[in-house]
Amino acid sequence: MLLAALLIVSAWLGIALARSDLTLRSFQREGVPLLYIAPRQAKGIPGVLVAHGFAGSKQLMLSYAHVLAHAGYGVMLWDFDGHGENSTPLHWERLLHNLEVAQQALVEQAEIDPTRLALLGHSMGSGIVMTAGIRTPDRFAATIAVSPTGATVTPQAPHNLQLQAGSWEGGFVANAEQLLTQAGGANPNLAAGGGRELVVIPGVEHITILFSDRSHQAALQWLDQTFSRAVDQPSGDLKPQGYRDRRLAWYGLHLLGGLIGIAAIAPLLGESEPQGVRVAPLRQWAGLIMAPIVAVAGLVLLSQWINVEDLGGVQVGGAVGVWLLLAGLTWLAVLACLPRPPLREIVSGIILFGLLWGWPLVQ
């Protein structure tokens, strides 16, 4: 238990240190949940709007926010309609309005210079930020599209366009190459607003790119050059400078501490008599085959009455949860001879689950 406690406390301290010297403000504007992160006691700093992708949330983009904030930028994140904490149903035509709400909130922050703004978006969010940069090019000095989707980019707009894609997401690399050509090709001249760059991040795909030091540093260097905050560096020089986001490792350490704690507590809860279970191979195969079929059929039937795509206010995740529930119940029904756990074990499991996951979920 001592080791578990040390790991968990170390994780808490690590997360706290990641937020040290930063100002965090969480609020809502027109129903859009917003999170603002900036250096403490800063004045006249550039602002960056950071947009998440489909079925994501602002939490997935926190690595960029922490890296940029520690480097001297004010960052505004938000949840698009139908995502994260935003309970407004998803309507694609309103997503750009969500960005405009976040932009207005960003320029109202005391630390921000409203004349120096930039955009960063991932996947679905990349399309939104590129569109914003195209429609109002003079408002945003730079646009960074990570795992880009589509937009009608030109050699003139958006200003200073950086495209990023992971080497393990070939389709997005090809799309980024097409966008770069459409935007006039690579151009190192950021001073005039015509900068163009494609950075392929090695060893990552569509989600892990969000936690890549190389992606964070590429974005930071592009913004620093845009706002003349650093000497020009080769685009291939993506060695981390200053703060590196390691919050995910601290969360993993907290999980490890929780598991060790459970292993230490479990013997104290008492042991139940072992119950042997024998299931015929034919029944096992029947459960394996029937579970996904019933789950898919159940989702199809359920979709006749409710919108399963954003069930529970979560894009995709709600439907996946229902699928797993139906598949699991079908599996149990077919096996039909699993032992029933005592009430004491059920209560103990719920308590341990709460201890293990409660703090990370709150964070």
Report which DSSP code applies to 123: T
- CA distances for 209 relative to 56, 177, 200, 229, angstroms: 14, 17, 10, 25
As a whole number of angstroms, the distance between CA 13 and CA 7 comes to 10
Q: What percent of the chain has pLDDT over 90?
A: 61
- Domain borders along the chain are 20-248, 250-268+278-362
Query: How does pLDDT run across 28-70, given as a tens digit for each residue?
Result: 999 999 999 999 999 999 999 999 999 899 999 999 999 999 9
Neighbouring residues of 324: CB distance < 8 A, sequence distance ≥ 6: 295
pLDDT at 262: 83
pLDDT at 354: 74
Main-chain phi, psi angles of 29, to 5 degrees? -140, 120
Q: What percent of the chain has pLDDT over 70?
A: 90
More confident residue, 339 or 145: 145
As a whole number of angstroms, the distance between CA 161 and CA 102 comes to 20
CATH topology of domain 20-248: Rossmann fold (3.40.50)
More confident residue, 299 or 197: 197
Q: Residue 304: left (phi > 0), alpha (psi -120 to 50), or beta?
A: alpha
As a whole number of angstroms, the distance between CA 137 and CA 129 comes to 11
Query: How does pLDDT run across 232-263, given as a tens digit for each residue?
Result: 444 444 445 689 999 889 989 988 998 898 88
The answer, yes or no, to whether residue 272 has pLDDT greater than 80, is no
pLDDT at 292: 93
Element (H, E) at 154: none
pLDDT at 303: 84
pLDDT at 273: 56
Average pLDDT, whole number, for the chain?
89
Q: Which residue has the tokens 């201890």?
A: 355
- CA distances for 226 relative to 118, 191, 275, angstroms: 9, 7, 66
Query: How does pLDDT run across 215-240, given as a tens digit for each residue?
Result: 999 999 999 999 998 644 444 444 45
The answer, yes or no, to whether residue 111 has pLDDT greater than 50, is yes
User: Cα angle vertex 54, ends 157, 199, to 5°?
Assistant: 50
pLDDT at 230: 63
Confidence band, pLDDT 50/70/90 cuts, at residue 10: very high
More confident residue, 282 or 317: 282
Confidence band, pLDDT 50/70/90 cuts, at residue 282: confident
The answer, yes or no, to whether residue 293 has pLDDT greater than 70, is yes
Q: Which residue has the tokens 């979920």?
A: 361
Enumerate long-range contacts of 181-187, CB under 8 Å, 24 or more apart: 182/153, 182/154, 183/153, 183/154, 183/155, 184/154, 184/155
Query: How does pLDDT run across 158-194, given as a tens digit for each residue?
Result: 999 999 999 999 999 999 999 999 999 999 999 999 9
pLDDT at 237: 45
The answer, yes or no, to whether residue 124 has pLDDT greater than 90, is yes
